[in-house]
Structure 1
Amino acid sequence: MATWDLSSTMHHILICNGSSCNRVGAEELTQAIRKEISDRDLDNTIHTTRTRCNGRCHDKCVVIHYPKGTWYKDLNSEDVSPFIESILINEEYSEKLSHTFHGEGFQRSQGVITGILKDKERVSKVSKKQG
């Protein structure tokens, strides 16, 4: 396993590779993002991490950009170049924006489903086990 020197890293991209995202091309998206970063010689500036499920399966493929805390939905390989460009010019890739962080929580973009609250999900699972 490699241990990366992150001292020059300015951006961290988390790419969901959970089962729902994988069914619609998450692995191809992951490789396309990494290739774009490498082709632009940004390997020391942008770090990527392949994750498991990020809990927004309806929004597949999900990509998260930090330090901004911006979540994107429905990304595919065709989105990679403009997505990386948006990061470099410090703007959001608005075509696929899901949620933006504003200090006290996330703001959902227009047209993005709310989803269920974690507490309700936990209560539902417990109720089903007990029922």
Structure 2
Amino acid sequence: MATWNLEQTSCHLLICNGGSCKKRGAEDVTQAIRDEIARQEADRHIHTTRTLCNGRCTDACVVIAYPEGVWYRDITPERGREIVRNYLAGQRLDQHAVYTYDGRFVATGNGETGTEK
């Protein structure tokens, strides 16, 4: 297992590979994001982690960007590549953001947010 030096990392992408996301192409999304990071030579700046279920199955495929705290929904391989390019340009893929973080998570109105508890 590799140990990554994260000192230059400014973005961490958590890519859901839970059951619902896998059914919607999570492995292809993961590979597309990692390929785009390599193509942009951004390996030192963007780190990825493949996760299990993040509890947003209706939003599959889900990608979460930190430290911004943006939760993206309906991510395809091309949208995953867009997330990387947009991040490097200082932008978000807003039309697919379902939650953003501003001291607490705020629903963006770009999808079903679930039931408040």
Please give the TM-score of this superposition, normalised by the length of structure 2.
0.94
- Three-state SS of the structure 2 residue aligned to 1:58 is helix
Q: CA RMSD in A?
A: 1.2
Alignment match, 1:107: 106
Alignment match, 1:96: 96
Higher RCO (CA < 8 A, seq sep 6+): 2
Larger radius of gyration: 1
Q: 1:91-118: per-residue Cα shift (whole Å, max 9, x none)?
A: 2111211100011x1111214212134x
The percent of aligned pairs where both chains have the same amino acid is 46
Select the structure that is richer in helix.
1
Q: 1:72-105: per-residue Cα shift (whole Å, max 9, x none)?
A: 00000121332112111222111211100011x1
Which runs of no fewer than 5 residues in structure 1 stay unpaired?
A: 120-131
Please give the TM-score of this superposition, normalised by the length of structure 1.
0.84
**CA-CA distance at 1:9 after TM superposition:** 0.7
Count how many residue pairs are aligned between Structure 1 and Structure 2. Answer: 117
In 1: Cα distance, 2:92 partner to 2:107 partner = 13
Alignment match, 1:45: 45
In 2: Cα distance, 1:68 partner to 1:100 partner = 7
